[in-house]
Amino acid sequence: MPFKLRLICMRMIIMPSIEASNLSKHYGSFAAVSKLNLKIEGAKCVGFLGPNGAGKTTTLKMFTDLIRPSSGEALINGINVHKQKRKALESVGTLIEMPEIYPALTPREALSMIAEIRGVPKAERKTRIEEAVAEVRMNEWIDKRVGKFSKGMKQRICVASAILSDPSVVLLDEPTSGLDPRGMSEVRDIIKALKNKKRLIFMSSHLLSEVSDVCDEVAIIDHGELLVYDTLSNVTSKVSGGESVVEIGLRNTVDAEQVTKIAAKLPYIAKAEKSDGTTFRIHFDGGLEAQEKLLADLVKMKIGIVSYKPASSALEGAYLSLIKNTL
């Protein structure tokens, strides 16, 4: 195989990755991030959780060279961000804090600037900008000056900027912050779409329900130290003594008796409870394999399942338990 073709093939199979290696940031005696070791590889969405001041934003800033680490390395696709920023960030879309855009520019101009800086081919620039703006539902505002926009509208443009260059890694710092419920839902849809495009998404959030809804894995940090990094179900089951909780949505109304009957048919279920009219929750032992089996068994029962997801309250329980342990 010719060298050039081999090179292209090699590039095609590179998995997107981010890695913190002994990453630390100290402000005097205060350790904002302390010897963080975290390697995330492959196309997935990872939620980055922790209380205020835990070091989430500091970590993301070190991954984007807004802050230099006191020690350790931040690597993206194997490239040190601080030594080779241009190369490391060439395939990374970012949204850190709530950026402001030059007020006299229009979204089209602001995104053109980013597209040009990122080297989006001229022929594709216009289409990509319009697609990105359409994705965040800001088409009508594309040629209006940003200075007059609300916080939420600016946040949408910043989300558009993060996805504009079709990056392989997307770093998001509380991406739904400042958005109204519809905006939050739309941004979640965008993140899910990015997942489908096989991107690595690393997002910090305070909203556990959002992380449950969108993410495959979760990393929890507190006092600058990583507490856990695992799949959502493993984290919840580990902390709750091996018990996982899933929330099941049905097409039709469900009553308590029906829920009990379902639970009785599946002996590995620890507990089943009705949540509201069409949803109920199942507590069971085991991780992803048990979760897969449960879904298969429920589908076989033909009870009209329309949704099946890890319960956010399970994550909340795990989160609180982990954070409490560090106080």
Partner 1 sequence: MTETSTLPKNKVPSSITQVGITTKYTFIDYFRSRRFFILLTITLLIGALLTVLVGYYQPDSFLASELGFYSNWWGNSATYVIILSGIFFGGDAIVGEFQNKTGYFGLPNPIRRSSVYIGKMLAAFSASTAILGIFTLITVVNGVYYFGLSVPLEFAQSVLFAWFYLASVIGFTFFFSSLFKSSTMSTIVTAILFLFAFSLIQTLVSTLVGIEPWFILTYGAQIIGNVLTVPYPEHKVVTSFGGGGQAGVNVGFSLTTFNAQIPVGLAIIGIYFIVTAVLGLILFEIKEFSG
Stretch that binds partner 1, among 88-96, 202-210, 295-303, 314-322 (CB under 8 A): 88-96
Q: List Cβ neighbours of 71 (8 Å cut-off, separation of 6 or more).
A: 22, 23, 24
**DSSP 8-state secondary structure symbol assigned to residue 16:** P
For partner 1, the closer CB: 88 or 226: 88
Sign of the torsion angle spanned by Cα atoms 177, 183, 188, 190: negative
Binding window for partner 1 (CB under 8 A); candidates: 35-43, 237-245, 271-279, 306-314: 35-43
Q: How far is the CB of 101 from partner 1 (least distance, A)?
A: 5
36, two tokens: 């963080």
Closest distance to partner 1 from the beta carbon of 120 (Å): 5
Stretch in the footprint of partner 1 (CB under 8 A) among 134-142, 167-175, 243-251, 252-260? 167-175
Rounded Cα distance between 62 and 91, Å, is 16
The window from 106-114, 135-143, 289-297, 318-326 that contacts partner 1 (CB under 8 A) reads 106-114
**DSSP conformation letters of 204-272:** E-S-HHHHHHH-SEEEEEETTEEEEEEEHHHHHHHHTTTEEEEEEEESS---HHHHHHHHHH-TTEEEE
Pick the closer one to partner 1 by CB: 128 or 188: 128
* 244 token code pair: 């996982």
Q: How many residues does the chain have?
A: 327
Confirm or reject binding of residue 166 to partner 1 (CB under 8 A).
Answer: yes
- Residues 200-229 touching partner 1, rule: CB under 8 A, are 200
Q: Which two tokens stand for residue 147?
A: 């200075």
Minimum distance between the CB of residue 200 and partner 1, rounded to whole angstroms? 7
Q: Which is nearer to partner 1, 118 or 188 (CB)?
A: 118
Residue 100 as a binder of partner 1 (CB under 8 A): the answer is yes
Q: Which is nearer to partner 1, 188 or 199 (CB)?
A: 199
Q: Does 292 bind partner 1 (CB under 8 A)?
A: no
Pick left, alpha or beta for residue 198 (phi over 0 → left; psi -120 to 50 → alpha; otherwise beta).
left
In whole angstroms, give the CA distance from residue 253 to residue 158.
Answer: 41
Residue among 6, 87, 182, 192 that touches partner 1 (CB under 8 A): 87
Q: Which residues bind partner 1 (CB under 8 A)?
A: 11-16, 27, 41-44, 58, 61, 64-68, 85-92, 94, 96-105, 109-110, 112-114, 116-121, 145, 158, 161, 165-168, 171, 198-200
